[in-house]
């Protein structure tokens, strides 16, 4: 991976920073026992806290946040790199990834006061975010949401419902997409909601991915938000949200590709040891080697796209093509890899403590969230191939 960073980012003004970040993460990983990640996969809450604390202590949540606000500076590459490296070692936290996504519109469109109040405390881990976007009736069609914030005096009064919200119970703030009184088509607005506000109710869903990660439905009943909860201009939220999608797709690709590497590494180690027919290990059979080699090639191809997309993003160029293709290829390759990992671990693959099931569930979810792969294919067909919009 160092070779990709060296060749693609050698000319970046932040090259030194990124080299330092890689060393920091390598050091962090060495500080945890090698198979400690399996404790994370089975939901050891203390271990999850310890990992997050190590990320905060190293200042890594300050990557992408300007030095003016106490961050480490740099571009999107910082977050992509850290997520990729931690995930390769089973140590990436969905909480940190979500907070990273949510801060982008705030950092780009918030006032200095809003950044100080909401984004700065996320660097040290004092505050965490969740995303309040999906609604049961609107689903993928975010423009069809019904949740509404209406201005009353100096407050916004919020009513409605969101669903599949990851880590809602652990989040201090929700990055909320809602309609307001504006009736222009597509007029969405974004707010930062204090998740402990009276009138916010959570209901846990029976969805399992990895570790302590949980999903919730979130209900809003006359929730009062202060005037400064609105980020940027009323009605421009859809634009802000779409501007952040490439970053989201690139970071989620990093999480996914790291998982693919981890599943591959564990599986290769296992099949190279396991002997059942004489002295030749299971890993010596072509029927085992070829599908793993295929996944290795697909994972590396997606990683190249991801870093190329990140480079374009950080240069202020259009990263949509690579961000979408990387999300598609990484989630498919990683999910296939985790399925093979289960297969080649035999019965042990279905043991939660081995960790492969949790990796499979998570990579499976990433084919649906944060955006389903069909919508990514729609994007590629329409915008990269000039075909008519199909929906």
Tell me the residue ranges of DSSP E strands in the chain: 129-132, 148-152, 155-166, 173-179, 188-194, 200-204, 215-226, 230-231, 275-277, 280-281
Which range of residues in 124-132, 148-156, 185-193, 319-327 is near ligand FAD by CB under 6 A?
Answer: 124-132
How many CB atoms within 10 Å of residue 164? 21
Q: Does 215 participate in binding ligand FAD (rule CB under 6 A)? A: yes
Q: Which of 8, 291, 374, 383 binds ligand FAD (CB under 6 A)?
A: 374
Which range of residues in 74-82, 207-215, 247-255, 300-308 is near ligand FAD by CB under 6 A?
Answer: 207-215
Q: Does 368 participate in binding ligand FAD (rule CB under 6 A)? A: yes
Instruction: State the nearest-atom distance from the C-beta of 141 to ligand FAD, in Å.
Output: 7
Between residues 142 and 308, which has the closer beta carbon with respect to ligand FAD?
A: 142
Which range of residues in 84-92, 110-118, 278-286, 374-382 is near ligand FAD by CB under 6 A?
Answer: 374-382
Q: Does 369 participate in binding ligand FAD (rule CB under 6 A)? A: yes
**Binding positions for ligand FAD, 127-146, rule CB under 6 A:** 130-134, 139-140
Strand partners, 177: 190
Overall size of the chain counted in residues: 391
User: What phi and psi, each to the nearest 5 degrees, are found at residue 215?
Assistant: -115, 150
User: Residue 305 corresponds to which tokens in the numbers above?
Assistant: 């796209």
Calpha distance 263→35 (Å, rounded) = 12
Burial class of residue 359 (count of CB atoms within 10 Å of its CB; 0-12, 13-18, 19+): buried
Greatest CA separation found in the chain?
Answer: 79
Q: Does 378 participate in binding ligand FAD (rule CB under 6 A)? A: yes
Q: Does 370 participate in binding ligand FAD (rule CB under 6 A)? A: yes
Instruction: State the nearest-atom distance from the C-beta of 387 to ligand FAD, in Å.
Output: 13
Residues that bind ligand FAD in the complex, under the rule CB under 6 A:
130-134, 139-140, 162, 164-166, 207, 209, 215, 365, 368-372, 374-375, 378, 391
């Amino acid at each position: 991976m160092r070779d990709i960073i060296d060749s693609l980012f050698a000319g970046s003004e932040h090259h030194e920073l990124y080299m330092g970040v890689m060393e920091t993460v390598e050091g962090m990983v060495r500080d945890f026992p090698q198979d400690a990640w399996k404790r994370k996969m089975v939901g050891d809450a203390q271990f999850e806290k310890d990992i997050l604390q190590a990320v905060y202590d190293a200042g890594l949540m300050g990557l992408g946040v300007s030095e003016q606000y106490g961050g480490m500076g740099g571009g999107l590459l910082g977050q992509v790199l850290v997520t990729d490296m931690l995930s390769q070692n089973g140590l990436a936290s969905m909480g940190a990834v979500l907070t990273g996504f949510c801060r982008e519109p705030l950092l780009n469109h918030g006032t200095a006061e809003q950044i100080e109040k909401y984004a700065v405390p996320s660097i040290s881990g004092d505050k965490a975010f969740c995303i309040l976007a999906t609604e049961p009736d609107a689903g993928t069609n975010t423009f069809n949401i019904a949740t509404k914030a209406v201005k009353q005096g100096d407050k916004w009064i919020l009513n409605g419902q969101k669903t599949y919200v990851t880590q809602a119970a652990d989040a201090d703030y929700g990055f909320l997409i809602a309609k307001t009184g504006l009736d222009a088509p597509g007029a969405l607005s974004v707010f930062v909601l204090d998740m402990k506000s009276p009138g916010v109710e959570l209901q846990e869903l029976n969805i399992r991915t990895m570790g302590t990660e949980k999903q919730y439905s979130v209900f809003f009943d006359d929730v009062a938000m202060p005037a400064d909860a609105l980020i940027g201009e009323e009605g421009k939220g859809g634009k802000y949200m779409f501007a952040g999608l490439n970053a989201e797709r690139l970071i989620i690709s990093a999480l996914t590709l790291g998982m693919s590497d981890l599943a591959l590494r564990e599986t290769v180690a296992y099949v190279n040891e396991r002997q059942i027919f004489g002295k030749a290990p299971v890993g010596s059979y072509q029927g085992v080697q070829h599908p793993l080699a295929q996944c290795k090639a697909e994972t590396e191809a997606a990683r190249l796209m991801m870093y190329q997309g990140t480079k374009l993003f950080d240069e202020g160029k259009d990263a949509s093509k690579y961000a979408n293709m990387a999300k598609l290829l990484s989630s498919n390759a990683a999910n296939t890899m985790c399925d093979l990992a289960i297969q080649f671990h035999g019965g042990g693959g279905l043991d939660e403590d081995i960790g492969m099931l949790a990796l499979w569930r998570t990579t499976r979810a990433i084919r649906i969230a944060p955006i389903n792969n069909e919508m990514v294919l729609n994007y590629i067909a329409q915008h990269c191939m000039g075909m008519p919009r199909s929906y």
